[in-house]
Amino acid sequence: SMREGRPVTVETSHCIPVREPVVSLSVVTECSPPTADANVSQYACLRRTTTENHNKIFTDVLEELAENSEFNESKGPCLAFRRAASVLKSLPSAVHCLGAIQGLPCLGEHTKAVMEEILIFGRSFKVEEVQSDERYQALKLFTSVFGVGPKTAEKWYRRGLRSLKEILAEPNIQLNRMQRAGFLYYRDISKAVSKTEAKALRSIIEETAHWIAPDSILALTGGFRRGKEYGHDVDFLLTMPEMGKEEGLLLRVIDRLRDQGILLYCEHQGSTVDMSKLPSRRFEAMDHFEKCFLILRLEEGQMERDEGLQKDPGESRGWRAVRVDLVAPPVDRYAFALLGWTGSRQFERDLRRFARKERGMCLDNHALYDKTKKLFLPATSEEDIFAHLGLEYVEPWQRNA
Ligand code: DCT
Ligand code: MG
């Protein structure tokens, strides 16, 4: 992603960049009225964060630094950068000077140093250093392939591989089925999915589900439910109004998508829900609902007119591949699954942390458990869950933490 830092240095191929300030140093000291109220919470679930980010010049850099820390397995710094970015995303206006962030939670020394660089020079030398690092570049490239996680990426890097071409040309590398699909559809699935495309997919999957079970319920979740214009995939929940009736539905939907010729790839995982072991304490742990990770073929003709027509007909082949996640919880778990799959990841992390630290409760995608009372708290809606946690309800479009 491109940042819009003002070019402030005169650079030629043989000369060291001159770090010349673009703005007076007063950005560091003097200040317009503080953006920061003492009221900003350290918990994302006590903040409201829309898709409108006034501090993208900082948050893009901080998120890239977080990713780099993740590759280096530095969990603490990674979390710190992500939390800092999340706090800045919730602010109602752009930060123009360091004074404006005084009193804000989660902004550590490293974050402040990065922000100072950006305020003074219009760019971050720290992130530029990371971006030019060979290992970072390789890991970022490899993990951009569907089915390739940091461990596999690291393995390939250590074998001296640097490009996707080299990986495909290396005879000793055994790609699994998911990774083969990831390479096969690489260009399409690394292209952002638009809201229009997400809506078109929603109609297709809903029609398919209703053809099998007319009372089935399909809900759009993930970033699109939070009002985002673009996403890397499209996430759905599928359930039935009567307990147990959801069994077998997902497999029939998959079969039907295959019959329609639009199923390019499918990895199905059966349910492994075991209520005796719930709730799990680890957020990153996958939930146990039946689900499938799909790549679907979306025809241009299935989209609203405006988007289909914008494209150069010479360039277009008339369809694209899209990543879709379909999750099928039983209806009594639906509210928890919806809350969990709506995200954002940072919002979910903080909901769980808030539940644990402030309420002595354990929350995950399946359930909410009160450790003091030693009982599970039932919920039929997201509002119920917020109420159990003693939190004001936060609308999906306010969860872009
Ligand atoms: N999630 C989860 N368990 C997983 C994977 C995801 O609970 N194993 C949650 C976290 C966010 C949400 O589901 C959707 O995940 P993503 O699609 O990765 O995030 P997104 O916010 O939809 O982002 P994008 O717009 O890039 O798809
Ligand atoms: Mg998504």
pLDDT more than 90, % of the chain: 82
CB-based contact 167:152 (threshold 8 Å): no
Q: Cα 394–365–285 angle (5° rounding)?
A: 125
Candidates 226, 206, 227; CA nearest to 216 is 206
What's the Rg (C-alpha) of the chain? Answer: 23
Both structure tokens of 239: 């359930």
Contact at 8 Å (CB) between 90 and 67?
A: no
Provide the ipTM: 0.97
Query: pTM to 2 decimals?
Result: 0.90
Cβ partners under 8 Å of residue 108, min gap 6: 80, 84
Q: Is 218 helix (H, G, I), strand (E, B) or coil?
A: strand
CA angle 245, 247, 252 (to 5 degrees): 110
- The number of the ligand 1 atom at minimal distance from the alpha carbon of 228 is 25
CB of 5 shorter than 6 A to ligand 1: no
- For the record, the structure tokens of 38 come out as 């003492």
Task: Report CA(345)–ligand 2 centroid distance (Å).
Answer: 10
- Supply the residue whose CA is at minimum distance from atom 12 of ligand 1: 341
Residue nearest to atom 24 of ligand 1 (CA): 231
What pLDDT does 8 receive?
37
Ligand 1, residue 226: give the atom nearest the CA. Answer: 21
Decide whether any atom of ligand 1 lies within 6 Å of the 330 Cβ.
Answer: no
Taking CA atoms only, the protein residue closest to ligand 1 atom 3 is 286
Taking the C-alpha atoms of residue 116 and residue 122, their distance in angstroms, rounded to an integer, is: 9
Structure tokens at 102: 């005084």
Q: With cut-offs at 50, 70 and 90, classify the pLDDT of residue 11.
A: very low
Asked whether the beta carbons of 377 and 369 are under 8 A apart, the reply is yes
Does the pLDDT of residue 350 top 50, yes or no? yes
Point out the residues that are catalytic: 233, 235, 325
Q: For residue 327, which ligand has an atom nearest its CA? A: 1
44-54 pLDDT per residue, tens: 999 999 999 99
Can you give the pLDDT at residue 132?
98
pLDDT value at residue 311: 60
pLDDT of 13 above 50: no
